[in-house]
Amino acid sequence: MNSLRARAITSLSWSVFAKLVSQSVTFLATVLLARKLGASEFGLAALSLVYIGFIQAFIDAGFLQALIQRPALVQQELASCFWFLLAAGFGAFGASLLASDLLEKFFATPGIGLIIVAQSSIFLFLPFRTLAQSILSRDVRLNELSKLETVLSVVRLVFSLLLAWNGAGVWSLVLPLVIAEIAYSLLSYRRAAWRLTLEFNRPSLKPILGYGVDVSLSRIVWFGASRADQFIIGKMLGTEALGLYSLALQFANALPQFASGSISRVVFPVFARLQHDPARLKRVYLVIAKYSTILFLPAFAGIGLLAPDLFALTFKPSWQNAVIPLQVLCILAFLRLTEALSGFLINAIGRTRLNLISNVIALAATAAAVYLGARLGGLNVITILTTLSFVPVTLLTGWFAMREIGGSLDEYLSIFRIPVFATLVMGCGVAGVGSLLPGDVPMLRIAVMLFVGVVAYSAVLLVLSPGIIREIRNELPSYHPV
């Protein structure tokens, strides 16, 4: 399998399999841990990850995408990047260690300082991960990473459950994550078949940093936009409310994480390879956007519709207040997934400043929506306002992407019309059937409503797009250029 197409298909297959396993394991772990831990412990872990993710966005400096986007990789450049990232990682770990007391005061949450220090140890191993991912991604050999993810996700689940059932509390969420991240970094470095050398050349970093600055700034701002809700909720409403919100968000983000960890991981390198062929890039982008919408939009809607019964079946009554936030966040998750695909294309063609602009707008809109929601009415209002604020961001990023490849906003919007209508019909059918079923048998309700939803959506889709099956057979093999 020496062609790009063959490697892309192999990578995509393994990525999909790995994410199916990891998402299933994550779902199982969340359900089991939620029976043992309280909302405040989930909130404490989520709040510490806001800090860790923000600092990691600074350290990465856009190196991963910059190296993937490079026409060729030179050993001196790779080694220089490694040593630069290692110095940044040690600096970030040292800063977290020295500032642990200040962080506890800032977050007004006892115990969070030590948790942040433990999680900051990940920064020391980040160079191994970044360099390995860039090499394997650029060569579209992501099946190597997917195999690691599959094994480590299972190990992490077992370790988390052992700790939780032995009274480790919040550390059952923290320690397995840290160990899994460190193991992933070191093992992926080994799989990349690249070896570090003792050389550092500052000029060789200039083109990488030049590309990476905008990507890094964009990532930092994007991270702020995607985590502003958790930060503000934790600060204004406390860890109990944040725990409920983070659980709802984790379920709503299951599909975006699946897509970003499997499909998107392959999509960006393919987009980068096609950056000098706008016509072909436009066609590939629209096809991927279309079928992603057809697949994921009804799935998000289904999660939202089934949420009350899923929670009644799997969680303690104390978690029921997370149901409405989950239902609304499913819409937000679809918008973010759609916006992310446009962002991948924009970065792949080197127009990183456009992503930075859209992310700045997203940050401002999200922060304002969450703050206003927290002042007005709590979690439910926050999720509604945050979701509404992200609609124009999604449209703007899609318009940016289409403009760069010679398309229009109308072309972009046209891919959503049929899936949105089919999803609305599906939702009406599922809600109607659900209202007729007895409320004390959640398993039966879930099975019947799931069946009705699949049949209704498929029927509308086939009526409005009778050639959809033939299109899929014709289009899917052509995603990956030879």
pLDDT tens-digit readout, 100-133: 888 888 887 788 889 999 999 999 998 898 888 8
pLDDT digits (tens, 9 = 90+) for 391-422: 999 999 999 999 988 888 899 999 999 999 99
Please tell me the pTM assigned to this model. Answer: 0.70
Beta-carbon neighbour count of residue 165 at 10 Å? 12
- Report d(CA 379, CA 383) in Å as an integer: 6
Q: Whole-number mean pLDDT of the chain?
A: 82
- pLDDT given at position 191: 79
What pLDDT is attached to residue 481?
42
Q: How far is CA 73 from CA 4, 178, 207, in A?
A: 17, 30, 12
Q: Output the pLDDT for position 440.
A: 82
Can you give the pLDDT at residue 5?
Answer: 55
The model's confidence at residue 12, banded by pLDDT at 50, 70 and 90, is low
Instruction: Supply the pLDDT for residue 428.
Output: 94
- Read off the pLDDT band of 460 (50, 70, 90): very high
Confidence of residue 61 (pLDDT cuts 50, 70, 90): low
For 76, half-sphere exposure in the C-beta direction (CA atoms, 13 angstrom radius) is 7
| pLDDT tens readout for residues 419-455 | 999 999 999 999 999 999 888 888 899 999 999 999 9
pLDDT at 479 over 70: no
Cα distances (Å, whole numbers) of residue 16 to 19, 188, 217, 278, 362: 5, 18, 29, 27, 29
- C-alpha angle 317-319-323 in degrees, rounded to nearest 5: 110
